[in-house]
Structure 1
Amino acid sequence: MRFPTLLASASSVFFASLVLADGASDVVDLSGSNFKSVVNAEPLILVEFFAPWCGHCKALAPHYEEAATALKDKNIKLAKVDCVDHADLCQEHGVQGYPTLKVFRSGQPTDYTGPRKADGIISYMVKQSLPAVSEVTASNLEEFKHADKLVVVAYVASSTDAPAPQFSATAEKHRDDYLFGLSTDKAAIEAAGVTPPTIVVYRDFDEPQITYPYPIVSADVEEIEKWIKELSIPVFDEVNAENYMIYAQNGKPLAYLFIDPTDSKKDEHLNPVREIALQHKGHINFVWIDAVKFGDHAKALNLVDTKWPAFVIQDLEKQLKFPFDQSKDATPEAIKAWVDAFVAGDLQPQLKSQPIPESQDEAVFTLVGKQFDEVVFDDSKDVFVEFYASWCGHCKRLKPTWDTLGERYNDVKDRLVIAKMEAPENDLPPSVPFRIGGFPTLKFKPAGSRDFIDYDGDRSLESLVAFVEEHAKNSLEPKTAQENETIPRFVDQHHDHDEL
């Protein structure tokens, strides 16, 4: 029975909330004046960037407090930054949503990718405090080689010899991504059949063992991590929620084969695509995906019909989609030709867009993908756009304020456009230098410019108005009645005639 554990957990969270109510806290408050002095001095510290109005932040607070208290005895500190009071500090650290958590090691940040409950935070930070590199000996070599999907082992005569320091630095940077080991044991080196110094990657997919192919003594962190990243991606594998981030972080174009896993001809569809993937290894990543389970993802990639197999290439950096025409059969020959055309730059992305509204009756302009360039890149106008999702709670709370902002500037809509765009239903064109990573996202484009300014302030009407007043290039004063009058007068100085 798990009742005692659950009760203990609930009690600890309740206790933490009482502690917060009393004003006592084991979470360190950070500001611009003490951030560096506190964070840089700690070998390991977790920092939460939050906003007081954020519901997710409020839900996290008691768990964060409980974890801070538990980790205090292990000399691991937790800290927080109020992004309303210290907006510049949060912007400096690239905070785009709340809460954002970052792990700092002697001042160097990495993203926190762990759970948001107390026990999960505690477990994650304890693991972070352990060495990033495990000691490998002859007794544990075989077990260690198969301990994870990808394992990296450096074999060196001494832990101070190159590339051991660079290898350890790489391990610190990627401790959440891969399993790292280091061996100076002669018996282990002999059993591995290698000549030190060298680095070997062991995998449970594709080629199972790969030795570092470049000059090892001069290898630096960037070179080592680039090599490991390339090897971490199979030639052709199933993609799902567990491994998608490997592809997303890699950044290369991603080619999907959507397939029904129950199809009796599944292997007949997969095997030829593997051969195509081999030809483009290092330039395009290839995956297959369960079309039944992830049908919504197919629609997001502009595959609108439930016809499988289906094929699409996604430019992850620009978020552009190149779906193969579903009215045709996605044969291996057709897929190969589609990939070749993509590589040659002969394909045009397919942009999703809602229909252009027949009329614009609201103060806030409803923007769709087909009109983006025309409206946003109109040099004569300042444009302030909210990118939202219909299911987003934060967007729903912002709507009345955003509508009021539109009404405030309704009389100058010929110079300032307050707009909204439903991002999941409208793709951004290639001309746009950014992609949407969260909702709502607010972007301001000044008149006469193609640069966008991020809005990172709070979502009060007063703050939004102040932001517009600061960045608008056009006058925001309504025209007087006399200025609005436009009476054409055509006067011929040599002949009398009636005015038009």
Structure 2
Amino acid sequence: MGLCRVFVLFLFLILTIVSLSFTVSATDSSENEEEWREYVVTLDTHNFTQFVSQHDFMVVEFYAAWCGACQELAPEWEKAAKILSQNEPPIVLAKVDANDQQNKQLANKHGLKGFPTIKILKDGGNVIADYKGPREANAIVSYVIQQTGPPSIEITSSQDASALIVDDGFAIMGVFEEFSGEEYEKFIVLAERLRSGINFGHTKDTKHLPIVGDSSSSPNNIEGPFVRLYKPFDELFEDFQNFDVDVLEKLIDVSSTPLVTYYDHMERYYLRKFLGTRNAKAMLYVDYTSDDYDAFKSTYYDVAKQFKGKGVSFLMGDVEASQKVLESIDLNVDQVPILIIETKSFVGIKYIKPKVSPEHILSFVKDFKDGKLQPYRKSAPIPEVNDGPIKIVVHDNLQDMLFNSGKNVLLEFTASWSEKSKKFGPILEDIAHSFQDDDIMIATFDTEKNDYPTETFKIIHFPTLYFATPSGTLLSYDGDKTKEAIIDFIQKNRDGAHLNDSSTKEEL
């Protein structure tokens, strides 16, 4: 009987352990399922419109699988999506593979300029704004939740106002007698338009506005409603009373960029903004350790101030940090201090003042604006001997070789890094041998060593071929890159083609 009891007890223990094992296993399975659940919604061209139309507010990332920045963002985006799914009401984060061919049209519709691009979609997709926030999970959550609130908050104390000026030092505050009327309504429209990149607030009492710098920032001498932009550079604040939304947006954009951008890895945001501007770009490179550095910095700032809003943006860089930039345009440190102005219209059009002094900066910029300067063009040396089957053309002899040689000229635009150019080299060599002792010239132009007139030649890939005749015709070649196809093109388009259809010295 004792043995029986022991056996029953042993059996009970075994069953209990097994039961607990199943319970733990089930719990682990549930937890694993929760852990591996994907909270970011995957959208594509088939479900995008319908899904977005069902949400008053959501955020969508357009990504490409090969993009390193997208890969870094992915786990943070997923963490943020999990947290936001528990918000009340829940907020959806989604993603679209913009590199997938089926989603190309969807990506183009949203004006992607790079990866990742993140868009805030409101009112079922009727309102779209750029996401300009952080890329870390908790910061993403805070930023997104802030975007769901009112576009501008009421300021009732100086503490409210100071809280709007976050780490980047920017904020926009409007002062109104009443929170109604045309000016106030336009301010709210502006706030809705720009809120993804800057905090907005409004108040009836100017005493709540932060005093920055010195007492000159006191708004007591301003009559009527106005808008104040706070910023972490230059004057530290700027006031506006033009309430045309488009005009005000442009004024704020200009004023939220430093008068002088510095070529510094710590200033990447402003550097990207400088490089992306449509303005002409003035770039001053000096030795930051030189005795006249302070004079250059002060003078350059004053010149930038004079040309604010006049279509010229200004950058200053230390020659040591900027050496590769100078080398890329065939300049060297021996020419420093050097002032370069690059136009907004055509790639490669630059105006250069080497060995510039502080007192000559203003006159050089003025002469540029008045159209008095001759552009600088990078050119390799003209070859002393140029008798090979393929002629070498450089910038400084482009006009003579292409249009004044008296020959029909096939000109190849190439780049040393282009694999297609390397593969095309032997084909061009064969074509050149086919036309030896003829009035056909085969030539090549290295775009890495030479600038070219981009208003004349449209080059979007390598190699690019153009054909010029003595009579002045200039044609681009868009056919197959084969010996037969190109020779046929030359024969059909050369001067006098109707008189002689068999000028080649080699049977095809």
3-state SS of 2:158 partner: coil
Q: Distance in 2 between matches of 1:403 and 1:79?
A: 39
- Counterpart code for 2:313: N
Is 2:81 the counterpart of 1:68?
yes
Q: State the distance in 2 between where 1:94 and 1:156 align.
A: 36
Compute the displacement of 1:244 (Å): 1.8
What is the alpha-carbon distance in structure 2 between the residues aligned to residue 36 and residue 382 of structure 1?
50
Separation in 2 of the partners of 1:126 and 1:146?
18
Q: How far apart are 1:369 and its partner, in Å? A: 7.1
Match of 1:136 in 2: 155
Aligned counterpart, 1:8 = none
C-alpha distance in 1 between matches for 2:109 and 2:319:
41
Aligned to 2:8: none
1:176 & 1:203 partners in 2: Cα distance? 16
The verdict on how the C-alpha distance between 1:44 and 1:434 changes in structure 2, with shifts beyond 3 A counting, is farther
Q: Distance in 2 between matches of 1:35 and 1:188?
A: 45
1:327-360, Cα deviation, whole Å (9 max, x unpaired) = xx31234323321221111223323456799799
The 8 Å contact of residues 50 and 83 in structure 1, kept in 2 or not, is answered as no
- Per the alignment, in what secondary structure is the counterpart of residue 313 of structure 1? strand
Q: Does 1:232 align with 2:256?
A: yes
Alignment partner of 1:267: what SS? Answer: helix
Instruction: Name the CA distance, whole Å, in 2 between partners of 1:56 and 1:371.
Output: 44
Q: Which residue of 1 aligns with 2:319?
A: 291
Match of 2:42 among 5, 25, 28: 28
Tell me which moved more, 139-148 or 245-254.
139-148
Distance 1:339 1:68, change over 3 A: same
**For residues 346 and 330 of structure 2, what CA distance do their matches in structure 1 show?**
15
Contact 1:45–1:79 (8 Å) recurs in 2: no
Shift of 1:224: 1.1
Q: Which among 333, 342, 362 is matched to residue 368 of structure 2?
A: 342
State the match for 1:5 in structure 2. none
Give the aligned residue type for 2:93: K
| Correspondences of 1:286-435 after superposition (within 5 Å) | 286-300=314-328, 303-316=331-344, 318-326=346-354, 329-352=355-378, 399=419, 427=451, 429-431=453-455
Deviation at 1:310, TM superposition (A): 2.0
Per the normalisation by structure 2, the TM-score is 0.63
Q: Distance in 2 between matches of 1:367 and 1:51?
A: 40
Q: Please say if residues 416 and 422 of structure 2, whose CA atoms lie closer than 8 Å, have aligned partners that are also in contact.
A: no
Inter-CA distance 34–112: structure 2 relative to 1 (3 Å threshold) = same
2:240 is the counterpart of 1:212: yes
Query: Structure 1 pair 64/166, CA: closer, same or farther in 2 (3 Å)?
Result: same
Taking structure 1 as the reference length, the TM-score comes to: 0.63
Distance in 1 (CA, whole Å) between partners of 2:252 and 2:135 is 29
Which residue matches 1:170? 190
Point out the more displaced range, 238-247 or 343-352: 238-247
Figure out how many residues of one structure are paired with residues of the other and give that number.
423
1:104-143 alignment, distance < 5 Å: 104-105=121-122, 106-113=125-132, 121-122=140-141, 124-140=143-159, 143=162
How high is the sequence identity, in percent, across the aligned residues? 23
Q: C-alpha separation between the residues in 2 aligned to 1:114 and 1:342?
A: 38
| 1:271 counterpart SS class | helix
**1:151 paired to 2:171:** yes
- The match for 2:60 is 47
3-state SS of the aligned residue for 1:324? strand
Cα distance in 2 between the residues matched to 1:303 and 1:434: 25
RMSD: 5.3
3-state secondary structure, aligned to 1:47: strand
| Residue matched to 2:294 | 267
For structure 1, the 5+ residue unaligned runs are 1-14, 453-466, 489-500
Name which one, 1 or 2, has greater alpha-carbon Rg: 2
Please tell me the residue identity of whatever aligns with 2:179.
Answer: S
- 8 Å CA contact 1:153–1:181 kept in 2: the answer is yes
Shift of the alpha carbon at 1:116?
Answer: 5.5
Q: Is the 8 A contact 1:353 1:370 kept in 2?
A: yes
